[in-house]
Amino acid sequence: MRMGWEIILSQAFLVSFLATTIRLAVPILIPTLGEIFAQKSGVLNLGIEGMMITGALGAFLTSYYTGNPWLGVLSGLVVGGLFGLLHAFMTITLSVNQVLTGLAIFALGPGLAGFLFRTIFGVTLIPPITTSFTPLHIPLLSKIPVLGPVLFQQNILVYLAFIFVPICGFILFKTAIGLKITGAGENPRAADTLGVNVYRIRYLCVIFGGVMAGFGGAFMALSTPGQTFMEYMIGGRGWIAIALVIFAKWNPYRALGGALLFGGADALQMRVQALGIGIPHHFLLMLPFVLTIVILVMISKGTSEPSALTIPYKRGNL
């Protein structure tokens, strides 16, 4: 027991813990950014978890057969985008209940992914391993003690993910498109009167949300060398991303903070488990979920979501 705690406080452990935190923040951060856009435009997407797992399968298969993880990522984005399109068609064109459509996609995703994976590979004793991304050491910066291994020895998708935060923030808060998105989600009729095509804005945002969920899934499938595919590999991250949108108050910069917090909780269970500290690993697995509920309890009251969230928009229907 004493040994364990001493290791935890050592520099080597802290460095590996922080590096893992950064890496595990990504598959929560990316879908959260996408969901922020969808919700800001007025559409709730509860299907993130299902979109992530199908995106992960698309990425896994493509990278497996082509040996090129970049094509894998592309495939993950396309699959996620297609599910986003499905959600958009159901909720915007057909104005079907957003909650139920999202739940249907949540049910569909793991089933479809498991079905296709088993169809292709059957039941194998040796799981198929895909080509994944390897850490990219940034010259000079990666040599800095502590900071180097934590920040600058990650794989390239991690750097990309963090660049997305200011880009999303800029689009939402500093551009005309951002204003149109906010308008579509706050008061679609007024926005429509001012010449905003509410349908198009919502379609784009929901598809973007799907693409980002697919990206998150691709990250799960391709970011760890020697990784195989499992139907349950998303493990609730899609749901935590949805909770994180509330935590972030629909702000990409706040989402970054939240994602790091959850990345930390996730990293803690991975790193501490390896040490055998005496805390049952089930409790560590539980930690991100307990943390999310605690945060929701503290933050939910009085949060103002986009006013038109979950309400379908019908032109000329007063």
Binding interface with another protein (CB under 8 A): 44, 46, 50, 86, 90, 94-97, 99-101, 103-119, 231, 236, 239-240, 242-243, 246, 280, 282-283, 285-286, 289-290, 292-293, 296-298, 300-305, 309-311
Rank residues 193 and 303 by Cβ distance to another protein and give the closer one.
303
Q: Report yes or no: 223 and 23 within 8 Å, Cβ to Cβ.
A: yes
Query: Least Å distance between CB 134 and another protein?
Result: 31
By C-alpha distance, which of 220, 176, 181, 180 is closest to 54? 220
Rank residues 68 and 307 by Cβ distance to another protein and give the closer one.
307
Query: Least Å distance between CB 300 and another protein?
Result: 5
Query: Least Å distance between CB 12 and another protein?
Result: 29
Rank residues 33 and 243 by Cβ distance to another protein and give the closer one.
243
Query: Least Å distance between CB 65 and another protein?
Result: 16
Query: Least Å distance between CB 26 and another protein?
Result: 20
Q: Report yes or no: 36 and 212 within 8 Å, Cβ to Cβ.
A: no
Distance CA 241, CA 47 (A): 11
Is the Cα dihedral 239, 233, 90, 170 positive or negative? positive
Rank residues 113 and 211 by Cβ distance to another protein and give the closer one.
113
67 conformational bin, left if phi > 0, alpha if psi -120 to 50, beta if neither: left
- Return phi, psi of residue 308, to 5°: -95, 15
Rank residues 96 and 156 by Cβ distance to another protein and give the closer one.
96
Show Cβ contacts of residue 82 under 8 Å, excluding neighbours closer than 6 positions.
Answer: 210
Query: Least Å distance between CB 168 and another protein?
Result: 21
Rank residues 100 and 146 by Cβ distance to another protein and give the closer one.
100
Distance CA 154, CA 7 (A): 23
- What is the token pair recorded at 108? 């569909």
Show Cβ contacts of residue 130 under 8 Å, excluding neighbours closer than 6 positions.
Answer: 60, 63, 64, 69, 72, 221, 222, 227, 228, 229
Q: What is the CA radius of gyration of the chain?
A: 20
- Distance of CA 145 to CAs 140, 148, 268, Å? 11, 6, 22
Q: State CA 66 to chain mean position distance.
A: 25
Rank residues 150 and 242 by Cβ distance to another protein and give the closer one.
242
Angle, helices 156-174 vs 176-186, to 10°: value is 70
Query: Least Å distance between CB 32 and another protein?
Result: 13
Query: Least Å distance between CB 100 and another protein?
Result: 6
Q: State CA 74 to chain mean position distance.
A: 16
Rank residues 120 and 194 by Cβ distance to another protein and give the closer one.
120
